[in-house]
Amino acid sequence: HEAELLKMVDLPTVMKDGHKLSLQANIQTDGEVDAAKRYGAGGIGLFRSEFLFMDTNDSASEEHQFNAYRKVVESMAPKPVTIRTIDVGGDKIVKGMGIDEKNPILGWRAVRFCLSRKDIFTIQLRALLRSSVYGKLQIMFPMISGVEELDAVLHLFEHVKEECRAEHIPFDPDIKVGTMIEVPSAAMCADILAKKVDFFSIGTNDLIQYTIAVDRGNEKIAYLYQPMHPGVLRSIRMIIEKAHQENIPVSLCGEMAADPLYSVLLAGLGLDEFSMGPQSILQVRKILREVSYQEAKQLAEAVMQMDSYLTITTYIREWMHDRF
């Protein structure tokens, strides 16, 4: 089975009627680049940079970060590498950051943390800019909840660029900047945010959690955590629509991008890029190559009329069963 899939490593992810998609890899350490390449990733769609802060005492230094980012960017070049800035807090516990809260899921995490610890954030942005000359680096920001927050982050980023220019540190002047969409208020304001960035990446792990108000790590209520909840699907559809109205592409880097049951539906909703654990890429590629975009859009249209995740999941299962 694996041997069969491995034949598709160098094939493009193109649907039967020519519609092209990009399948990229999620990684959390620079060492995982090898797996991304082995499974034919079109790039790195999500590098969870906070993992760098978990290893050594020196892990937060500019040099340490620069070396890791450069390694990933260089070894994937000319393919794109999207590095997400630090997402600590919430379910991501990193010792020594001083985060200890009663309600961490709704608390001081990701860009909220970074904007009040500009010392840490600035070092990361410098390390990222320095590594941008070694390939095709893109940067994205986690947990953006609205336009003021995005403006604040983009403003700081411009400031760090100015500093680099003043110090004659070379960086890619056309570096693309995106925002994750994983907070419901950001989803509702997708049209506004899309005017300010070069791309969106939908973080469904959090978007589902916050949309349905269900802790992603709580087993007692795990039955409520449903990617096919119509509320989640409407949100995804709207995010993609609004982004496309501003001509920016949309990626999805939550776990649902790796589930072959959802691949056709997501393509039918107009998603441009999927980012997932490297070992899932080939199976998703296989499915997408065997279906046309036209059919995928019809599936999405049918599903968007339905009223519950149960109905939707059953319908998609049957649809997939008939075809595969």
Q: Which residues contact Mg ion (rule: CB under 5 A)?
A: 182, 203, 206
What is the nearest approach in angstroms of Mg ion to the Cβ of residue 183?
A: 9
48 carries a ligand binding annotation: yes
Crossing angle of helices 204-212 and 230-245, in 10° steps, is 130
Segment contacting ligand PEP by CB under 6 A, of 31-39, 200-208, 282-290, 304-312: 200-208
Task: Give yes or no for residue 185 binding ligand PEP (CB under 6 A).
Answer: no
* Residue 80: exposure state from Cβ atoms within 10 A (0-12, 13-18, ≥19): buried
Do the strands 20-27 and 44-48 form a parallel or antiparallel pair, or are they unpaired? parallel
Given a contact cutoff of 8 angstroms between Cβ atoms, the answer to whether 289 and 11 are in contact is yes
Round to whole Å and give the CA distance between 119 and 108.
16
Q: State the nearest-atom distance from the C-beta of 110 to ligand PEP, in Å.
A: 8
Q: What is the DSSP string of 201-223?
A: EE-HHHHHHHHHT--TT-GGGGG
Give min distance, CB of 303 to ligand PEP, in A.
21
86 touching ligand PEP, by CB under 6 A: no
What does 295 bind: ligand PEP, Mg ion, none (CB cut-off 5 to 8 Å by kind)? none
- Distance, first Cα to last Cα, the chain: 15
Among Mg ion, ligand PEP, none, the one that 42 touches (CB under a kind-dependent 5 to 8 A) is none
Choose from ligand PEP, Mg ion, none: what does 48 bind? Cβ within 5-8 Å by kind. Answer: ligand PEP
Contact 236, 186 (CB under 8 A): no
Residue 182 binds to ligand PEP (criterion: CB under 6 A): yes
Position 203 contacts ligand PEP (CB under 6 A)? yes
Any contact of residue 295 with ligand PEP (CB under 6 A)?
A: no
DSSP 96-139: TS----SSGGGSS-HHHHHHH-HHHHHHHHHHHHHHGGGSEEEE
Active site residues: 253
Which token pair is 110? Answer: 């990701």
Does residue 204 touch ligand PEP according to CB under 6 A? yes
CA-nearest of 159, 175, 203 to 48 is 203
Tell me the two tokens of residue 80.
């794109």
Binding letters toward ligand PEP, positions 227-266, x by CB under 6 A: --------------------------xx------------
Can you count the helices (H) and strands (E) in the chain? 14, 9
CB of 84 to Mg ion, least distance (A): 9
Interface segment toward ligand PEP; rule CB under 6 A; list 127-135, 147-155, 199-207, 219-227: 199-207
84 appears as a binding residue in the annotation = yes
| Bond prior to 78 in cis (omega within 30° of 0) | yes
Which tokens sit at 282? 């080939």
Q: Supply the minimum distance, in Å, between the C-beta of residue 241 and ligand PEP.
A: 20
Between residues 164 and 224, which has the closer beta carbon with respect to Mg ion? 224
Cα separation, 44 vs 77, in Å, equals: 10
Task: Specify the residue, 52 or 300, whose C-beta has the smaller distance to Mg ion.
Answer: 52
Nearer to ligand PEP, 9 or 260 (CB): 260
**Per CB under 6 A, 206 contacts ligand PEP:** yes
What single letter denotes the amino acid at residue 46?
L
| Closest approach of Mg ion to the CB of residue 88, in Å | 12
Binding positions for Mg(2+) are 182, 206
Residues that bind ligand PEP (CB under 6 A): 46, 48, 87, 182, 203-206, 253-254
Binding positions are 48, 84, 182, 205-206, 216
